[in-house]
Amino acid sequence: MKEVINWKKNELPRTDVEGCIEILKEEEVNKARTFHESFGEYSKTPLQELDELAAHIGVGGIYLKDESYRFGLNAFKVLGGSFAIAKYMAEKLGRDISELGYQKLISDEVRKELGDMIFVTATDGNHGRGIAWTANQLKQKSVVYMPKGSSLTRLENIRKEGADVTIQDMNYDDAVRLAAKYAEENGGVVIQDTAWEGYEDIPVWIMQGYGTMALEAIEQLKSLGVDRPTHIFVQAGVGSLAAAVQGVFASIYKEKCPTTTIVEANIADCLYRSAVAGDGKAVAVGGDLQTLMAGLACGEANTIGWEILKNHSSMFVSCPDWVAANGMRILGNPLKDDPHIISGESGAVTTGLLVEIMRNDEYKELRESLKLDKDSRILLFSTEGDTDPDKYRNIVWDGEHHR
């Protein structure tokens, strides 16, 4: 039986609408952007125009940020981890982040002053690779825990960066707790891409780091003559990425902020369920959280991110795996003059969803509720490339996970 897409319009009580996005003001996020620009590997990732696809499904434009080009790491995640580590080091050194570009951070002088550090984290793959890569550049140690069912290719890519990495017999949220315990017992620093009560600075820096991607997208859209997109679809695991994108757009565009839809894997749809619950509190989802969309397999929301999403986002959508698989196939097999995009499971779900909403009248009500039509200019983020190449081919070549 076909699993369906579920959706819930945001009707939650709004609380601290202005205050919750302070951390993602343009001037704050610009600090992260300047830091990222100091890396030799830095260049803007492409913003691809999918004109043929847009015409085919009846919308005005589709603009897709292709994060498979980010720092040669095949995913956007390093933006967050690298900035958080730099901010942490800046605080330890008692300096402002603006004084600490990449060259300074890797200098012997800084290394001597700070001594040995261990960066500890839990990950489905992409965040851990970003942490391991950054630690490696800094000649520091990293310890990475991956949840049950994690891809061995993703593990190997983390190990190649010199990390001590293992797959644990537990879900993502428990792996986060294990990372925190290890750090506490071994004098490590937890660099986790989600916040909880009492652990907030580092996840805020991570979200600011993701903001670089949103700022680039705004600039790139403008250079294409698009002053602002009408809609954004952004995927969520713990919701840090989605909240970062939402926060940057809300603080720049204010009441003209695009209509933003938060997209989750149905097995780990904690934000969607929180929207359904309706009282504004974040609902957690437990269990094994096995989904094709490994990057979205998180059942507990980032507490800071949730405040932003519940105050600013318009729609929460919960997607079965086939939606992501369709998105991968659509982007990998473009219509005639559209660019070819290699998008992984967590990267492609928003494209799969948008196409389904526009083509399938089962979702007419959702289409109408979002006011998606020929005038819509839609921004999507393909947050990863083929980070698990075997799985990518099983889906795109061999047709696994059809609806």
Ligand X SMILES: Cc1ncc(COP(=O)(O)O)c(C=O)c1O
The rounded distance, in Å, linking the Cα atoms of 270 and 283 is 6
The rounded distance, in Å, linking the Cα atoms of 50 and 56 is 10
Active site residue 124: yes
Asked whether 183 and 114 are in contact (CB, 8 A), the reply is: no
Q: Active site residue: 124, 321, 338, 388, which one?
A: 124
> At 123, is the secondary structure helix, strand, or coil?
coil
Output the smallest distance, CB 351 to ligand X, in A: 13
Q: Give the nearer residue to ligand X in terms of CB position, either 110 or 246.
A: 246
Q: How many CB atoms lie within 10 A of CB 96?
A: 11
Output the smallest distance, CB 233 to ligand X, in A: 12
Q: Give the nearer residue to ligand X in terms of CB position, either 105 or 161.
A: 161
Output the six-digit token pair for 30. 């610009």
Output the six-digit token pair for 190. 């937890």
Task: Give the CA dihedral 277, 8, 62, 42, nearest 10 degrees.
Answer: 0
Residue found by looking up tokens 């929180």 in the block: 274
CA 397-399-403 angle, 5° bins: 155
Output the smallest distance, CB 10 to ligand X, in A: 17
Q: Give the nearer residue to ligand X in terms of CB position, either 138 or 242.
A: 242
- Which residues pair with residue 136 across a beta bridge? none
Q: How far is it between the farthest Cα atoms of the chain?
A: 63
What is the 8-class DSSP label of residue 135? H
Asked whether 121 and 128 are in contact (CB, 8 A), the reply is: yes
Report residue 63: phi and psi, to 5°. Answer: -125, 120
Strand 6-9, strand 118-122: pairing: unpaired
Q: In the complex, which residues of this chain contact ligand X (CB under 6 A)?
A: 75, 77, 124, 126-127, 193, 235-242, 295-296, 298, 346-347, 383-384
Give the list of residues 6+ apart from residue 44 with CB closer than 8 angstroms, or none.
216, 219, 220
- Which residues pair with residue 141 across a beta bridge? 118
> At 142, is the secondary structure helix, strand, or coil?
strand
Output the smallest distance, CB 104 to ligand X, in A: 28
Q: Give the nearer residue to ligand X in terms of CB position, either 100 or 307.
A: 307
Q: Active site residue: 8, 31, 65, 77, which one?
A: 77
Active site residue 281: no
Measure CA 190 to chain center.
Answer: 19
Output the smallest distance, CB 193 to ligand X, in A: 6
Output the smallest distance, CB 334 to ligand X, in A: 20
Asked whether 379 and 63 are in contact (CB, 8 A), the reply is: yes
- Which residues pair with residue 382 across a beta bridge? 66
Q: Give the nearer residue to ligand X in terms of CB position, either 193 or 269.
A: 193
Output the smallest distance, CB 31 to ligand X, in A: 20
Q: Give the nearer residue to ligand X in terms of CB position, either 75 or 90.
A: 75
What is the 8-class DSSP label of residue 293? -
Q: Give the nearer residue to ligand X in terms of CB position, either 172 or 182.
A: 172
Q: Give the nearer residue to ligand X in terms of CB position, either 102 or 264.
A: 264
Q: How many CB atoms lie within 10 A of CB 227?
A: 10
Asked whether 242 and 76 are in contact (CB, 8 A), the reply is: no
Output the smallest distance, CB 153 to ligand X, in A: 14
Instruction: Please list the active-site residues.
Output: 77, 124
